[in-house]
Amino acid sequence: MAIESPTTSAYIQHHLQNLTFGQHPDGSWGIAHSAKAASEMGFWAIHLDTMAVSIALGVLFLWLFRMAAKKVSADTPSGLQNFVELMVEFVDGSVKETFHGKNKVIAPLALTIFVWVFLMNAMDLVPVDFLPVVANWVGVNVFGATDGHVYFKFVPTTDVNATLGMSLSVFALIIYYSIKVKGVSGFVGELTLQPFGKWMIPFNLLLEGVGLLAKPVSLALRLFGNLYAGELIFILIAVLPWGLQWALSVPWAIFHILIIVLQAFIFMMLTIVYLSMAHEEH
Partner 1 sequence: MNLNLTLVGQAISFAIFVWFCMKYVWPPVIAALDERSKKIADGLEAANRASRDLELAQEHAAQLSRESKENAAEIIEQANKRANQIIDEANEQVIADGKRLREAAQVEIEQDVLRAKEALRSQVSVLAFAGAEKILGATIDEKAHSEIVEKLAKEL
Look up 204 and say whether it is catalytic.
no
81 vs 86, 111, 115, 152, 183, CA distance in Å? Answer: 8, 15, 15, 34, 41
Look up 121 and say whether it is catalytic.
no
Nearer to partner 1, 18 or 178 (CB): 18
Nearer to partner 1, 58 or 189 (CB): 58
Look up 66 and say whether it is catalytic.
no
Among the listed residues 121, 167, 178, 226, the single catalytic one is 226
Among the listed residues 9, 82, 141, 218, the single catalytic one is 218
* Cis peptide, bond prior to residue 216, ω within 30 of zero: no
Among the listed residues 5, 161, 169, 222, the single catalytic one is 222
Nearer to partner 1, 180 or 188 (CB): 180
Shortest separation between residue 227's beta carbon and partner 1, angstroms: 13
Contact in structure between 39 and 25 (CB atoms under 8 Å): no
Contact in structure between 237 and 252 (CB atoms under 8 Å): yes
75 vs 22, 81, 90, CA distance in Å? Answer: 52, 11, 19
Shortest separation between residue 69's beta carbon and partner 1, angstroms: 4
By CB atoms closer than 10 A (0-12, 13-18, 19+), residue 247 is exposed
The length of the chain is 282
Contact in structure between 120 and 162 (CB atoms under 8 Å): yes
Nearer to partner 1, 84 or 135 (CB): 84
Residues forming the site for partner 1 (CB under 8 A): 18, 20, 22, 38-39, 41-47, 50-51, 54-55, 58, 61-62, 65-66, 68-70, 72-75, 84-85, 88-89, 92, 104-105, 107-109, 111-112, 116, 156, 159-162, 164-166, 168-169
| Residues labelled as active-site residues | 218, 222, 226
